[in-house]
Amino acid sequence: MLPESAIHSLGSANLCDSELAVFTEDKYEWVVYWYECDCYEGSGMLFALRKDGKVDADMLGHCSCYGPLDDWPGNTQDMHETLREMIFDPDRPGKERRMPEDHDYPMWQAINIKIRELLAERNRL
């Protein structure tokens, strides 16, 4: 598993070590995720930077019959696509900008800020 310093939880809930075990040091540099739980269900988003520079991304969710990472890995994309997804909602007609009144705006905003911080730090090394 990645060291704790490479796993960034931004939501109100944390994934457990057994769930995070799929993110190994030989394949990933860091993981950024937002996860929230409410009794029997949870939701969120996770982005993991691979050593080859690609990003694995997936929606997180759980209920009584599946866990948040049961569909891992999700989509693999390049960093440009990932950063664009933070700003523009691919599910909207014309891929309109995410707006502060969107219910999930705080999640996207927090993930966007953290990923940009990590990329700036990576470029300084």
Give the pLDDT score at 64. Answer: 63
Q: What gap in Å lies between CA 113 and CA 62, rounded to an integer? A: 25
9 has a pLDDT exceeding 80:
yes
**Can you tell me whether residue 117 is helix, strand or coil?**
helix
Torsion of CA 71, 61, 84, 10, to 10 degrees: -120
Instruction: Give the contacts of 24 (CB within 8 A, at least 6 positions apart).
Output: 1, 2
Q: With bands split at pLDDT 50, 70 and 90, how would you rate the model's confidence at 92?
A: low
Q: What gap in Å lies between CA 112 and CA 6, rounded to an integer? A: 16
Range of the domain at 117: 4-124
Q: What gap in Å lies between CA 117 and CA 35, rounded to an integer? A: 19
Q: With bands split at pLDDT 50, 70 and 90, how would you rate the model's confidence at 94?
A: low
Closest CA to 30 of 113, 118, 110, 107: 118
Total count of domains within the chain = 1
Mean pLDDT of the chain: 83
Q: What does the pLDDT look like over 45-65, one tens digit per residue?
A: 899 999 998 888 888 877 666
Q: What is the mean pLDDT of residues 19-32?
A: 94
